[in-house]
Amino acid sequence: MIVTCPKCSAKNRVDESAAAVSQPVCGRCGAMLKTDAWSGADGSGVSTPLVITDASFTRDVMQAGARPVLLDCWAEWCGPCRMIGPIIDQLAAESAGRYITAKLNVDENPRTAAQLGIQSIPALLIFKNGELVDRMIGAQPKQAIVARLAAHS
């Protein structure tokens, strides 16, 4: 993708998989570049969870590198999923690049849900270096999720 530097307006080519692992910087002036993984899809400067699909799962989760990825497996009709949705959004905003938050709609992406063995939702999965390292089933308090993420940081 091509990202314009907010400081010097230089156009920078940014590898999306590398941007998911480390903060991209401008080749001309060294300023931090805003990408979806780092600044939120809306460009607001606030991180938001990545939307994961069957097509993007390998790239965005399995190849994310050493930074933990918190994957929220959810569905629109699920009450407990809607309860923890705001918590996932808060964690994304507070991540400061320490971890990546992502959401997988299991109804829209059945192949990945089946591959992960999702039988109950919400299911919160933590990946690191392409490996599933932790799994939480059901609605969890924010403190419990933070503690599990910290154990894998």
26 is catalytic: no
Residue 45 inside a domain? The answer is: no
Name the catalytic one among 5, 26, 73, 78. Answer: 78
What's residue 6's pLDDT?
78
pLDDT, one tens digit per residue, over 75-108 is: 999 999 999 999 999 998 888 778 999 999 999 9
Residue 61 inside a domain? The answer is: yes
- 32-38: which pairs have CB atoms within 8 A and are 24 or more residues apart? 33/3, 33/5, 33/6, 34/3, 34/6, 35/1, 35/3, 37/100, 38/97
Look over the chain and give the mean of its residue pLDDT values, rounded to a whole number.
86
Count of the separate structural domains present in the chain: 2
What's residue 39's pLDDT?
43
Name the catalytic one among 5, 26, 73, 81. Answer: 81
Residue 44 inside a domain? The answer is: no
46 vs 81: CA distance, rounded Å = 22
Q: 138 and 71, same structural domain?
A: yes
pTM of structure:
0.71
What's residue 147's pLDDT?
94
pLDDT, one tens digit per residue, over 123-140 is: 999 999 999 999 999 999
5 is catalytic: no
